[in-house]
Structure 1
Amino acid sequence: MSNSSSPRPAAPPTVWAARGRHTGTAAADAVRRNLEKLKADDVIHSHLEPDDADPADGHVFEARWSAPGEVTVRARLTLPPRHNAAAEQQWVLVAEAEEPWDPRWPSPATVFWPPEAGSGWAHEAGTGLRLGEVNPLPDDDKELRRVLRHAVRDTWCVHLVVHEAMTPDERGRGTLVRLLPEGLRHRVVEHRAAPHRLRAVNWVLDDFGTRVPRGGAVVLPGALAAPGYDAQEFSVRSVFLDGNEPTEVLDAVTRFAALPRPLPDGADAALTALREQWHLMTLEEELARARELVAMYAEALDAMTKSRDLYREAAERANEALAAYRETGAAGALPAQKPGRAATGSPFQQLARGLERLKGTALSLRPGSAPVEGVAATPRDAAQPEDGAARSADGPGAPPPAGD
């Protein structure tokens, strides 16, 4: 299931997306030859291999054609770079139509890849299982868990699990996917469980809230299942593998593929590249794009002009406010205060000066100083005011002045 805490938006109904693996060699040459053949047969309008594609994207192919009803379809196939020459080639294909996608339209995969069996491109990207063919589930339990867990968590393909109630004959061994609409055949992986493997299969599927009925089939929910997904609605009780058309199974797969699900992991980047890096444009489309660019540049220029005017107006108001402040300050400015003297000398000298000031204050409060208001003077103080002052002036032991 999805690990994202916030729900992702549903994929546009006009988009068809698929991812796979090419097991052969020279995948780019195979695509190039098939596009040239379809262009010569007037099946597609045009195709292109852009020269300015990012080397990190590998080979990029574009194609344009018309679906039934003259609906224009644009598609982009990307072949990412391989880590080594022996590695299999991955591919991502995204197509977008002018109208909601109809599953009865031709598969975009057959526009880029040759439709012949054994071409090597119709393999699921994660496990390498074949698209459009029967894939027997492995007998090994460990390998069985790996395949089914990937099938449940896959975001690109629709996985169908069919249990064989008994070993089918030659007619029953044929794939059911071939009976699906053409636009779904390369997006569905069909798994077949042998008659004796039902318990092992359901033991793995129980962890994901779904089961395959005995002799029936079930469409696995996938990592990005719709919120209203119900396993019972996409399971079939009985599937007769006798060569007849299993209507219920085909209906379940078609309904599940039509659910509004988010884009697969990585398909959003591929869709953005299709829309923003498209090269195969008609003359009308180039003209419309040029008009969009002109309108965008005009809006940007208008925004810059408005920003400039606002900045100029703000600067003028600031200058006016500054001039008014200066006039007000010149008319009623306060006199500048004299700065205080900075302290000079060492800390010991400053301490000595402070003690001298305290000494003078203490001497002024000794007897002989001015009487305190409200306290009567003693006779001695009243009789000898000058004498005390004279002694203080002449020093101790000096005789009184003559004529005293």
Structure 2
Amino acid sequence: MAKKSTSSTTAPDTAWLGRGRHLGPEAEQDVRRNLIALKAAGVLDDFLDLDPVEAARSSALYPRDESADPGASARRVFEARWRVAGDVTVRAQLTTYDPEGRRREGEGVVWVVAAEAERMWDAHWPSPVTMFWPDSDRAPWDHGWTVPDVRLRMANHLPKDDDELRRRLRELTRHSWFIHVVVHEAMTPDVLGQRPVSAFLPPSLRHRVVEHRATPEQAQIADFAMKRELGVRMPRGGAVVLPVATRSQDHDAERFSVRDVFLDGSAPTELLDRIKEFAALPSLLPAEAEQALTRLRQGWHLLSPDEELVHARDMVSRYAQALEAMTTSRDLYKEAAEAAHAALAEVNGGDGVLRPAAPGAARTDGSALGALTKAFGRFRGADK
């Protein structure tokens, strides 16, 4: 049976979720260097670097996780905590995985980031990805999940082959955590025009958007493929925000298309507004994203001093309740033993030694069984 790719849970407005692949040789080392640098600079309050086995000691969700890739196993778990807007705390986890088929060159390391703030997420806050990964071209962490040659921080040209183009569109929108935008180049842009449109977006939204480019000669083939596969049209020289499975089924294709996008290095204001509007729509969590958010909430390890104190008090209270329950149980067992001893003594003449019943005793004296039943009845009443 195929795994369900979308949950029935609406994405909370306090959360930020992302995923991708790191194709370099030192994925975890890139994370460590960045975390150390940001903590030294005062950007992070603190961070943790955990082995999955360590994380599993306090959370049963880590030892074997199927949310990243079928057959994948967790490599490392990183946690970081920082503050935004003065006093709003953000908690985030990054988990790295070995994908299935790791031995094939170029597979890289799969990663998942889940972050949650104490209030509604603001797109102008720093991107959680850049708290773990360095935001530089030297760290190749921004490759796509299902399509590795698609990258987050650049404009990705659509395949020229018709069949491959349709396959790409299906892959991108069926299980995507991201917002996909297709921009048509009315003419081949210069260096300024090659700059991704997504670079003009607020930091936290920038790494949730994947930009695709259709070359001038792809106007008809790309438009036809999108109409056939997704039910949307790509304006010549314009752009369109693609519908995805986790968004509302009544996608307003006209609303989220822009007729003119000038690729001259200036900010395409109308397109940026449409992307922001689309990002604000309610959406369902992909099943893997829901699992990542659950791990963040239930498997959190990096506690602040105040949280440590609350946790310690909670543990003391739990231990006290457990001790009280054990004491009550001990007293009940003691009462049961005393009741049983008293019943035996009553049956056997007061010395507590069980003797064979005399012939006819069961017929002439029903008090032996009655005594035991009465004694244990008293105990059961007390227990209740």
- Which TM class, normalised by the smaller chain length? 0.7 to 0.9
Partner residue of 2:55 out of 53, 68, 89: 53
Cα offset, 1:227, TM superposition = 4.9
Q: 1:202 to 1:299 in 2, by over 3 A?
A: farther
**Aligned counterpart, 2:102:** 84
**TM-score, length-normalised on structure 2?**
0.74
Higher-RCO chain (CA-CA 8 Å, sequence separation at least 6)? 2
Question: Comparing both structures, which one devotes a greater share of its residues to strand?
Answer: 2
> Which string of whole-angstrom CA distances, capped at 9 and with x for unpartnered residues, describes residues 189-228 of structure 1?
1111112212211222223221111211111111111355
Q: 1:8 to 1:71 in 2, by over 3 A?
A: same
Which is higher, the Rg of structure 1 or of structure 2? 1
C-alpha change, 1:204 and 1:269, in structure 2 (3 Å) is same
Aligned length: 317
Residue 231 to residue 4, structure 1, CA distance change in 2 (3 Å)? farther
Cα distance in 1, alignment partners of residues 261 and 127 from structure 2: 26
Distance of 1:5 and 1:274 partners within structure 2: 20
Question: Does 1:273 find its partner at 2:275?
Answer: no
Q: Alpha carbon RMSD of aligned pairs, Å?
A: 3.1
Instruction: Give the counterpart letter for 1:35 in structure 2.
Output: L
Counterpart of 1:37? 37
Counterpart position of 1:382: none
Query: Does structure 2 conserve the Cα–Cα contact (< 8 Å) formed by 1:50 and 1:279?
Result: no
**5+ long unaligned stretches in structure 1:** 313-325, 331-404
TM-score, with structure 1 as normaliser: 0.70
Structure 2 residue 145 is matched with structure 1 residue 125: yes
| 1:154-198 deviations in Å (ceiling 9; x for gaps) | 321110001122222332222101000011111111111112212
CA contact (8 A) 2:6 2:284 kept: no
Structure-2 separation of matches of 1:261 and 1:195: 33
Pair 1:6–1:41, CA change in 2 (3 A): closer
2:241 is matched with 219
Identity of aligned residues (%): 49
CA contact (8 A) 2:20 2:145 kept: yes
CA distance in 1, matches of 2:199, 2:299: 34
> Among residues 69, 75, 78, which one is paired with 2:92 in the alignment?
75
Instruction: Tell me how far 1:115 sits from its aligned partner.
Output: 1.2
User: Structure 1 residues 228, 285: closer, same or farther in 2, change over 3 A?
Assistant: farther
Q: Which amino acid aligns with 1:173?
A: Q
Kindly provide the CA deviation profile for residues 48-96 of structure 1, in whole angstroms up to 9, marking residues without a partner as x.
1124034542211111111123211111000012443543111000111
Note if contact 1:130-1:189 (Cα within 8 Å) is conserved in structure 2: yes
Match of 1:163 in 2: 184
Deviation larger for 167-176 or 71-80: 167-176
Residue in 2 that maps onto 1:346 = none
What residue ranges of structure 2 are gaps of 5+ in the alignment? Answer: 57-62, 64-72, 336-361, 367-384
Map 1:98-117; keep pairs closer than 5 Å: 98-117=118-137
Q: Does 1:260 align with 2:282?
A: yes
- Cα 1:11/1:143, change in 2 over 3 Å: same
Counterpart CA distance in 2 for 1:27 and 1:5 is 27
CA distance 1:299–1:233, shift in 2 (3 Å): farther
Q: Report which stretch shifted further, 88-97 or 253-262.
A: 253-262
How far is the alpha carbon of 1:259 from its aligned partner? Answer: 1.3
2:19 partner SS: strand
Q: 1:301 to 1:250 in 2, by over 3 A?
A: farther
Query: 1:322-354 deviations in whole A, cap 9, x for unaligned?
Result: xxxx99xx9xxxxxxxxxxxxxxxxxxxxxxxx
Residue 180 of structure 1 is matched in structure 2 by 201
Distance 2:321 2:184 in 1: 61
